[in-house]
Amino acid sequence: MGSWGFEVTRKTVEKKIKAFTKYGLALHTTTPELGLAISNFGGETRSDVWNLERQVSSLLHQYLIEFIQPQTWTDLGFIAVAKGPGGFTGTRIGVVAARTLGQQLDIPVFAISTLAAVAYSELENRGQEIGHRAIAVQMPAQRGQVFGAIYQLTPDSFELNILLPDTVFTPETWQEKLASWHTEYELIEAKSGLAATVNNMLSLAYLDWCLGKRPDWSEASPYYGQHPV
């Protein structure tokens, strides 16, 4: 499987749209790592991850300017941003940056769930093994709780269908939810290296773009799930 999604996905959606002539840019800032990816989905793709710890807010703009070259802001056709769950400050910074760029450039902003990106990463890496089983993703949250969500790839459009939206659970409630789940699923734990799924975020946003979705920048909102204190 290619790093930009299932080949059959591309063949399906490319019948419905004109060629994408610009670039998509993705930002992942929900953890101490910064992930950036850019692609024209026609062979030119690059991405990188930096461990910036608490310096994401002060260094994001600098890294963006350096990373986007030799492209310019006007080369962008859409932006994808990780909306959370994740760290409160990092998530807010990324969403604000994406909204600002989307507003200034007048381009769509796709707010992608951190958990959805993890699920799609598993599908891109192990799609044939997983098949059309659901993917349950869990991630540690504050105060001993967990974030949980369940996704499944739809066989007709290859969209990532949300079976259970991102929700905060106690560990016991989450286990009860899984035990009573009505379909076969694969459980994935999202613990580290989440910024590396910035490529998968960009794949999800591109698929939505191919399917005709054009979310306004004002629709991009962070998902915190919990109060920061």
CATH code for the domain in which residue 174 is found: 3.30.420.200
The answer to whether residues 39 and 191 touch, using CB atoms and an 8 Å cutoff, is: no
- pLDDT above 50 (res 136): yes
| CA–centroid distance for 60 within its chain | 18
Same-domain pairing of 15 and 75 = yes
Instruction: With respect to residue 224, please indicate whether it lies within any of the assigned structural domains.
Output: no
Decide: helix, strand or coil at residue 79: strand
Residue 153 has pLDDT above 90, yes or no: no
Strands (E), 17-93: 23-28, 33-39, 45-51, 76-84
Q: How many structural domains does the chain have?
A: 2
State whether residue 76 is helix, strand or coil: strand
226 domain-assigned: no
Looking at the structure, tell me whether residues 88 and 161 fall in a common domain: no
Residue 201 and residue 150 in one domain:
no
pLDDT of residue 76 exceeding 90: yes
Q: Is residue 227 part of a domain?
A: no
Question: pTM of the entire structure?
Answer: 0.89
Distance of CA 119 to the CA centre of its chain: 9
Whether the pLDDT of residue 105 is over 60: the answer is yes
Print the domain residue range for 101. Answer: 7-114+193-219
Answer whether residue 229 is part of any domain. no
**Same structural domain for residues 28 and 107?**
yes
pLDDT at res. 200:
95
**Segments in the chain forming alpha helices (H):** 7-14, 56-68, 88-105, 114-130, 171-179, 198-210
**Would you say residue 2 lies in a domain?**
no
Query: What pLDDT does 57 receive?
Result: 85
98 and 19 both lie in a single domain:
yes
